[in-house]
């Protein structure tokens, strides 16, 4: 990846968040509100820009597939917006920019998860991965929030990616995190709770730091979220910002 990501709640991000909160909760709002869309496009042009050059392999294909998304074969600025967390002060290729850090509330909730007894470990056993994948599918099918519910999720592509991490409490899996790693760029391919309980909510903050630390250890400079932030529920965008992600425009080159 090349380029640099600034941190801190910028004026652009704040205005985008306000517009999305007010207008972006209905389907196809882009087409129904052209004046709002025009303002969103102008704001997007002011975001920091990053370029991604994929390597070969399943992880690179996964990342490029998400970052290179288009609509009917046409890639617009709306598809270029990505949540990115810069993990190192001086990327090997890129502008010097501050590291994305979690805010005080995020750190507090991560520590609360540890006090509740939440632990984590890396998953390497193929059979355990299949069991966790089945649990993730079941949870998505019955999730009480329709924003996160899916009748028939296809998560099998995750089996081609590595590393996997699971948060657990008393031996029971709470949250599954899967990374796609391509040299200095990684994507959070999956990051979802496997249950609905308070400990899972706090575990999200703990595992956000675990994943960031593990990615740094693997030489990753930039960690991207896989979803389009312009279509994310507001609560999820807020969570991403609280743990250090910032909006950027990403081009696949």
pLDDT of 97 reads 46
Phi–psi pair at 81, nearest 5 degrees: -75, 130
Partners of 193 in beta bridges: 175
- pLDDT above 80 (res 211): yes
Please indicate whether residue 32 or residue 86 has the higher confidence score (pLDDT).
86
- pLDDT above 60 (res 9): no
Say which CATH class 1-253 falls into.
Answer: alpha beta
User: Which residues lie below 8 Å from residue 105, measured CB to CB, with a gap of 6+?
Assistant: 242
Say which range, 43-57, 108-122, 228-242, has the weakest mean pLDDT: 228-242
Q: Omega into 163 within 30° of 0, i.e. cis?
A: yes
187 within 8 A of 63, measured Cβ to Cβ: yes
The 10s digit of each residue's pLDDT in 212-251 is 999 999 999 999 998 778 777 777 878 888 898 988 888 8
Phi–psi pair at 141, nearest 5 degrees: -70, -30
The CA distance from 169 to 206, in Å, is 13
CA angle 30, 68, 184 (to 5 degrees): 130
Going from N- to C-terminal start, the domains of the chain cover 1-253
pLDDT of 94 reads 46
pLDDT of 217 reads 95
Query: DSSP letter at 99?
Result: P
Model confidence band, residue 188 (pLDDT cutoffs 50, 70, 90): very high
- pLDDT above 80 (res 64): yes
36 within 8 A of 23, measured Cβ to Cβ: yes
pTM (2 decimals)?
0.86
């Amino acid at each position: 990846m090349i380029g640099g990501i600034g941190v801190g709640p910028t004026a652009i991000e704040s205005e985008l968040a306000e517009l999305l909160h007010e207008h972006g909760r209905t389907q196809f709002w882009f087409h129904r509100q052209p004046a709002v869309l025009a303002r969103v496009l102008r704001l997007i042009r002011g975001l920091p820009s990053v370029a991604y050059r994929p390597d070969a392999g399943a992880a690179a294909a996964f990342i490029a597939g998400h970052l290179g998304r288009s609509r009917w074969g046409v890639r617009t600025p709306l598809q270029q917006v990505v949540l990115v967390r810069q993990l190192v002060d001086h990327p090997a290729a890129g502008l010097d920019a501050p590291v994305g850090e979690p805010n005080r509330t995020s750190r507090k909730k991560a520590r609360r998860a540890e006090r509740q007894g939440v632990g984590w470990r890396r998953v390497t056993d193929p059979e355990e991965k299949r069991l966790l994948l089945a649990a993730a599918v079941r949870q998505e099918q019955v999730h009480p929030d329709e924003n996160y519910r899916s009748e028939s999720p296809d998560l099998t592509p995750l089996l081609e990616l590595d590393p996997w991490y699971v948060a657990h409490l008393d031996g029971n899996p709470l949250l599954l995190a899967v990374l796609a790693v391509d040299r200095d760029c990684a994507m959070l391919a999956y990051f979802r709770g496997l249950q609905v309980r308070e400990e899972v909510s706090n575990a999200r903050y703990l595992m956000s730091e675990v994943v960031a630390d593990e990615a740094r250890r693997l030489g990753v400079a930039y960690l991207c979220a896989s979803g389009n932030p312009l279509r994310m529920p507001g609560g999820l965008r807020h969570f991403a910002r609280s743990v250090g992600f910032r909006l950027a425009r990403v081009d696949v080159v």
